[in-house]
């Protein structure tokens, strides 16, 4: 049986681990040079900061993931630095490009997609200036190279990553000059009882807030960025507080991220059905609780299917591998699967509470000024999209070229849907989603 696992983050690592235990030698494809995923991003060789400094309370989990990757490499067909840029469900083939630029067709009988997530952007005027990046990208710079993106950095967004990055920068000696949390205190407090489904996670967030307060870093709740100013780079941020007053703060770096969005392009190309998730305000691929999809041979796990965090990703990776093993006719322990299902159920309740506590600021996205560069790849503004008569986003794409650039709509798609839905006066799910196209990411042309 030929099995392929795409991704070597927490979900992919645990999926491969369980497959190997069952005597299966999968092809394991990872876009980065090494495993660990973004959450447990490995620094380059010779990096002096230890795991505790890099990963904090998750240091032991990060080390366990890295050790498992190192142990499994010799037991699988390990292909790091390799991009999967297309998936063809009919012939059951993946198209890949390796680190040397060569392309290959990789056949599979079963494939587990553990494709992870990316920053969810909310474009504002000036967001394409040098010095502006995503929260996740700023965290990667800190983990992989020990770099802050500036000396006076503004962090803008919502959710756990915003607090975590603020604390990580502070610990590294580069506290942010400004932290704007779009969720108001009222929203967070109303959702607080649901956070008790994961008391450890909830307490960790409170500890970050308390530590930041002790270090003099103030978090402005209910605040939103309006514009990045500067001639050639980010020099100031115009922002609005919870009372509606506008402020201008001098900065030399801005990181923006309103939660994460799954990397669902390969699932889309596989023909997996999608459904709209009202909490995340995103179209997500459908799967059962074991990770099976409606497309035979295609399984999903981790944040590439729905945002749940690294603990959920590890559980889901194990469960998807067990589904593959079970579908191949080998026995699995029902007690283990039941335990995983119970833990995933609890984590899902906690995740729902987080989404309510730190919602995506859809109204702010829908009301972005006409001059905002919505699609940076094709230089399409929010006004360009509003001016069309497009009834849904794929017609908007045909009229304006939004989503036709390097990112294939991965960055501009969700925000563009909010803009178009508001212009049409309908719910965001009624304007649909940008359909996936290959190549899902840019490939080298020889």
pLDDT digits (tens, 9 = 90+) for 262-321: 999 999 999 999 999 999 999 999 999 999 999 999 999 999 999 999 999 999 999 999
Report which secondary-structure segment, H or E, holds 226: strand 224-229
Q: Which residues of 246-255 are buried (b: 16+ CB within 10 A; e: fewer)?
A: eeeeebbbbb
Lowest mean pLDDT among 187-201, 255-269, 417-431: 187-201
DSSP state of 2: -
**pLDDT grade, residue 133 (50/70/90)?**
very high
Give the pLDDT confidence score for residue 190 in this predicted structure.
Answer: 87
Q: Which residues of 119-157 are buried (b: 16+ CB within 10 A; e: fewer)?
A: bbbbbbbbbebebbbbbbbbbebbbbeeebbbebbbbbb
Judge whether residue 217 has pLDDT over 90. yes
Give the pLDDT confidence score for residue 214 in this predicted structure.
Answer: 94
- How far is it, in rounded angstroms, from Cα 432 to Cα 309? 26
Give the pLDDT confidence score for residue 181 in this predicted structure.
Answer: 97
139-148, 181-190, 241-250 — most confident range: 241-250
Please give the angle made by the CA atoms of 302, 415 and 228, to the nearest 5 degrees.
Answer: 110
Lowest mean pLDDT among 57-61, 96-100, 119-123, 380-384: 57-61
425 pairs with which residues across the strands? none
Average pLDDT over residues 21-33: 96
Residue with the two structure tokens 């295609």: 298
> Could you give phi then psi for residue 174, rounded to 5 degrees?
-130, 65
Query: Chain-centre distance of CA 127, in angstroms?
Result: 19
- How far is it, in rounded angstroms, from Cα 273 to Cα 270? 9
192 vs 99, which has greater pLDDT? 99
Judge whether residue 209 has pLDDT over 80. yes
Match domain 3-118+261-354 to its CATH number in 3.50.50.60, 3.90.1150.10, 3.30.1130.10, 3.40.250.10. Answer: 3.50.50.60
Task: Indicate if the alpha-carbon torsion angle 79, 80, 81, 86 is positive or negative.
Answer: positive
Are 118 and 261 contacting, i.e. CB atoms less than 8 angstroms apart? yes
Report which secondary-structure segment, H or E, holds 157: strand 153-158
Give the pLDDT confidence score for residue 42 in this predicted structure.
Answer: 82
Judge whether residue 225 has pLDDT over 80. yes
Q: How far is CA 405 from CA 353, 366, 378, 384, 418, in A?
A: 35, 22, 6, 16, 19
Share of the chain above pLDDT 90, in %: 85
Region 121-258: CATH code: 3.50.50.60
CB atoms within 10 A of CB 221: 18
User: Mapping DSSP to helix (H, G, I), strand (E, B) and coil, where does residue 442 land?
Assistant: coil
Give the pLDDT confidence score for residue 254 in this predicted structure.
Answer: 98
Lowest mean pLDDT among 188-202, 239-253, 360-374: 188-202
Q: Which two tokens stand for residue 438?
A: 């290959």
What contacts 326, CB < 8 A, 6 or more positions away?
A: 290, 332
User: Mapping DSSP to helix (H, G, I), strand (E, B) and coil, where does residue 245 land?
Assistant: coil
In 3D, which of 11, 4, 25 has the Cα closest to residue 72? 25
Region 362-431: CATH code: 1.10.10
Q: How far is CA 233 from CA 128, 133, 251, in A?
A: 9, 12, 10
- How far is it, in rounded angstroms, from Cα 56 to Cα 330? 39
- Where in the chain is CATH 3.50.50.60? 3-118+261-354, 121-258
CB atoms within 10 A of CB 425: 7
CB atoms within 10 A of CB 290: 21
pLDDT tens digits, 43-95: 877 776 777 777 878 888 989 999 999 999 999 999 999 999 999 999 999 99
Average pLDDT over residues 382-396: 95
Give the pLDDT confidence score for residue 389 in this predicted structure.
Answer: 87
Give the pLDDT confidence score for residue 199 in this predicted structure.
Answer: 87
> Could you give phi then psi for residue 90, rounded to 5 degrees?
-60, -60
Share of the chain above pLDDT 70, in %: 100
Give the pLDDT confidence score for residue 188 in this predicted structure.
Answer: 85
Average pLDDT over residues 360-389: 96
- Where in the chain is CATH 1.10.10? 362-431
- How far is it, in rounded angstroms, from Cα 8 to Cα 115? 8
């Amino acid at each position: 049986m030929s099995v392929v696992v795409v991704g070597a983050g927490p979900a992919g690592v645990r999926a491969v681990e369980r497959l190997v235990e069952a005597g299966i030698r999968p092809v394991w494809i990872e876009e980065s040079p090494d495993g660990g995923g973004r959450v447990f991003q490995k620094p380059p060789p010779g990096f002096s900061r230890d795991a505790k400094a890099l990963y904090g309370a998750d240091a032991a989990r990060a080390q366990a993931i890295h050790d498992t990757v190192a142990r499994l490499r010799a037991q699988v067909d390990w292909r790091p630095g390799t991009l999967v840029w297309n998936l063809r469900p009919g012939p059951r083939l993946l198209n890949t490009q390796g680190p040397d630029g060569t392309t290959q067709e990789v056949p599979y009988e079963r494939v587990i997609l553990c494709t992870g997530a990316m920053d969810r952007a909310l474009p504002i005027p000036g967001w394409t200036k040098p010095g502006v990046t995503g929260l996740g990208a700023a965290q990667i710079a800190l983990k992989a190279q020990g770099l802050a993106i500036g000396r006076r950095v503004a962090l803008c967004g919502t959710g756990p990553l915003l607090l975590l990055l603020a604390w990580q920068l502070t610990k590294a000696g580069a506290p942010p000059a400004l932290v704007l949390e779009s969720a108001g205190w009222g929203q967070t407090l109303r959702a607080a009882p649901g956070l008790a489904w994961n008391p450890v996670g909830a307490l960790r967030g409170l500890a970050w807030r308390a530590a930041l307060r002790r270090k003099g870093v103030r978090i402005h709740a209910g605040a939103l960025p309006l514009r990045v100013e500067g001639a050639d780079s980010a020099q100031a941020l115009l922002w609005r507080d919870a009372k509606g007053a506008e402020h201008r703060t001098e900065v030399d770096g801005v990181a923006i991220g309103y939660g994460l969005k799954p990397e669902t392009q390969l699932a889309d190309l596989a023909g997996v059905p999608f459904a709209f998730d009202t909490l995340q305000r995103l179209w997500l691929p459908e799967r059962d609780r074991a990770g099976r999809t409606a497309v035979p041979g295609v399984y999903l796990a981790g944040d590439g299917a729905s945002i749940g965090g690294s603990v959920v990703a590890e559980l889901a990776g194990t469960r998807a591998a067990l589904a593959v093993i079970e579908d191949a006719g080998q026995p699995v322990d029902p007690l283990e699967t039941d335990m995983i299902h119970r833990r995933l159920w609890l984590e899902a309740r906690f995740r729902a509470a987080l989404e309510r506590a730190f919602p995506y600021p859809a109204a702010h996205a829908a009301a972005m000024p006409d001059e905002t560069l919505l699609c940076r790849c094709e230089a399409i503004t929010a006004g360009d999209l509003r001016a069309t008569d497009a009834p849904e986003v794929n017609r908007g794409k045909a009229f304006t070229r939004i989503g036709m650039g390097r990112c294939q709509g991965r960055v501009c798609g969700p925000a563009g849907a909010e803009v178009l839905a508001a212009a049409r006066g309908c719910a965001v799910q009624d304007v649909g989603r940008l359909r996936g196209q290959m190549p899902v990411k840019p490939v080298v042309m020889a």
